[in-house]
Chain A
Amino acid sequence: MPQYLVAIQHPENYDPSVEGEAMIRDISALNEEMDAAGARFFAGGLESASLAKSLRKQPDGNVSITDGPYLEAKEHIGGFWILECADMDEALAWGRKAVVACRAPVEVRAFHKMRPNRKSPE
C-alpha cells in the first residue's frame, strides 16, 4: 500500500494554547476515523520549529549544528501523519479533513520506498 505524508503547516509564532476544546475533539475524531479505516501508520506533533536543530556539511567535511529550523520560512511543519492509502486521491480526501480539523493548511506528498542501489525512486 503506498504511503503518504500529510503535513500540517503552522506559522512560526504558532501558539498551541489557541487550540480550543472543539479543535482537539475534531482532531481526535479524525485520528479515530483514520484508525478505523486502517489508514494511519503514524501521527505526531512536532516541538516548536525554534527548537529544531539544523545540520549542514561544511566545505572541510565537518558538520555544523545550529539552533533553529533549516528553512528560513514564516511557516513550518507543526505535525504530520503518515497514511497508507490506495492512491493520491484517497490521501487528498484525508488531507481535506485534516485542513478542517486542524484549522491549518496541509501538504500531501507520496513516499517512495527507498531501495538501495537505485538511482531514482520508482
Chain B
Amino acid sequence: MPQYLVAGYLPDDFDPSQMDEAMGREIHALNKEMIAAGVRKFACGLGAAKSLRAQPDGGVVITDGPYLETKEHIGGLLILECADMDEALAWARKGVAATRGQVEVREIFFQPSTD
C-alpha cells in the first residue's frame, strides 16, 4: 500500500492557546476515523528544531532553530497508507477542516528495507 506524508503547517507565531476545545475534539475524531479505516501509520506534533550542516572541513555544525528560513513550519505530520493520492487528499481535506490549517501531501516513494 503506498504511503503518504501529510504535513500540517503552522505560522511561527502560532499560539496553541488559540486551539479551542472544539478543534481538539475534531482532530481527535479525525484520528479515530483514520485508525478505524486502517490508514493511520503515524501521527505526531513537532517540537523545536535543531539544524545540522556539513562544514568544508568535514565536521558537522549544529544550530538551534529550523533549517528553512520561512515564516511557517511543519507543526505536525501524519503518515497515511492509502490506495492512491486521491484517497490521501480526501483525508487531507478533512485534516484542513479539523485543524483550520494548511496541509501538504507528498508520496513516500522509497523505503529502505529493514533486513
Chain A contact residues, CB within 8 Å of chain B: 3, 5, 7, 9, 27-28, 31, 35, 40-47, 49, 51-57, 63, 65, 69-73, 75, 79-80, 82, 88, 92, 95-96, 98-100, 103, 105-114, 116-121
Contact = CB atoms under 8 A, between A and B. Distances in A.
A80 B111 CA distance: 10
Given A99-B60, A108-B49, A114-B43, A69 B19 contact: no
Contacts of A5: 46, 77
Chain B, interface size category, equals 35 or more
B16 to A, nearest CB: 4
A46 B24 contact: no
B24 A56 contact: no
A100 B62 CA distance: 13
A111 B100 CA distance: 21
In this complex, which of A7, A35, A99, A109 has the most chain B Cβ atoms within 10 angstroms of its Cβ?
Answer: A109
